[in-house]
Chain A
């Protein structure tokens, strides 16, 4: 099942304006340090990378470790340069991969 994502990009911005982008993704971020009821270690299963690109160019690149909370929340900024698509990609352990995108109109 695809991981639920919630991305917030202002739909319109003025050229040169600095906008804030907010992202949230559903993921347990199993840190690899827990044990189950039987004492067996629960293996690590986290998102390790988050990359945001704006019309193909990377504008934000994060490397995540187990200390990032479950359901990772990340907000950051970028300059509204031109209209187009903002793409988001999360990659993680066990082949995890999730994408999302949003359109922006820049006047």
Chain B
């Protein structure tokens, strides 16, 4: 038989079964989506709501200082080009990850910050999860507090959203679980005394009580993978950005809560 025909047939079957598999994990109807803020105790909700008590605000203040600090060979601060962050950065985090023309793929906010630092400020990039990166990205993301998450309808993002969706539905690790099995199929149920969240990244970077520190979405995703006993992708892997993009698309329209507090 013609090998190409067979290959096409097999590819077709695989595509159909992937689509069926994706459809089997029931996606949460848009009007039933809820932030994990709703599942927190009153004390923790109060911690998030109060800017005089939210430990993340300490990082936001550090981020503001970084925004205004001259950096690199350029001697320029973020403010020198972007002005007042409250104006220029409003809504920005709500539409990240965003497509980067030069790289021809989406980048997340942390990567975007480093691209600006290297190319425009001629400064060394911040390390992943460093105090500086967390402070600056949280400061920028806080300017989107209350803004609805983007619909992500840039057509160039579509293939990457689908890649992220595939990761979300892929069984991984020694526990052989996919994200969807907990967060689409069993949200709201108890897992060892915790309520399984729907896993919308509305509050990132978050102050996580478990970490006693602020942390990025990528840190949380690495921990999810460790939790199901899977080998996390290396720091900065494109899989994280694809997955972050899918999660943000899945949360489209929901309001940003950064900086969030979570147990």
Contact = CB atoms under 8 A, between A and B. Distances in A.
Decide whether A and B are members of one complex: yes
Contact of A26 (B52, B53, B58): B58
Contacts of B10: none
**Interface range on chain B (Cβ under 8 Å from partner):** 10 to 19
A82 B58 CA distance: 30
Interface string B42-64: 00000000001101011101100
Given A22-B52, A22-B53, A24-B53, A4 B58 contact: yes
Interface string A3-15: 0111010000000
Interface of A: 4-6, 8, 22, 24-26, 28-29, 69-71, 73, 75
A70 to B, nearest CB: 4
B151 interface: no
A4 B52 contact: no
A22 B212 CA distance: 20
Interface of B: 52-53, 55, 57-59, 61-62, 212-213
A71 B52 contact: no
A70 B213 contact: yes
- Greatest chain B CB density within 10 A among A22, A69, A71 is at A71
A102 B57 CA distance: 18
B193 to A, nearest CB: 20
B53 A73 contact: yes
Contacts of B53: 22, 24, 73, 75
A24 B57 contact: yes
Contacts of A24: 52-53, 55, 57-58
Contact of B212 (A6, A8, A28): A28
Given A69-B212, A71-B55, A71-B58, 12 more contacts: A4-B59, A4-B62, A6-B52, A6-B61, A8-B52, A26-B58, A28-B212, A29-B212, A70-B55, A70-B213, A73-B55, A75-B53
Nearest to B212: A70
Contacts of B62: 4, 26
A56 to B, nearest CB: 25
Contacts of B52: 6, 8, 22, 24
13 contacts: A4-B58, A4-B59, A4-B61, A4-B62, A6-B52, A26-B55, A28-B212, A69-B212, A70-B55, A70-B213, A71-B55, A73-B53, A73-B55
A8 B59 CA distance: 17
Contacts of B61: 4, 6
A6 B58 contact: yes
B57 A6 contact: yes
A71 B53 CA distance: 10
Contacts of B213: 28, 70
A88 B57 CA distance: 19
Contacts of B57: 6, 24
B260 to A, nearest CB: 15
Contacts of A71: 55, 58, 212
A97 B124 CA distance: 31
A29 B53 CA distance: 17
Nearest to A5: B58
A71 B55 CA distance: 6
A4 B60 CA distance: 10
A14 to B, nearest CB: 21
A26 B138 CA distance: 15
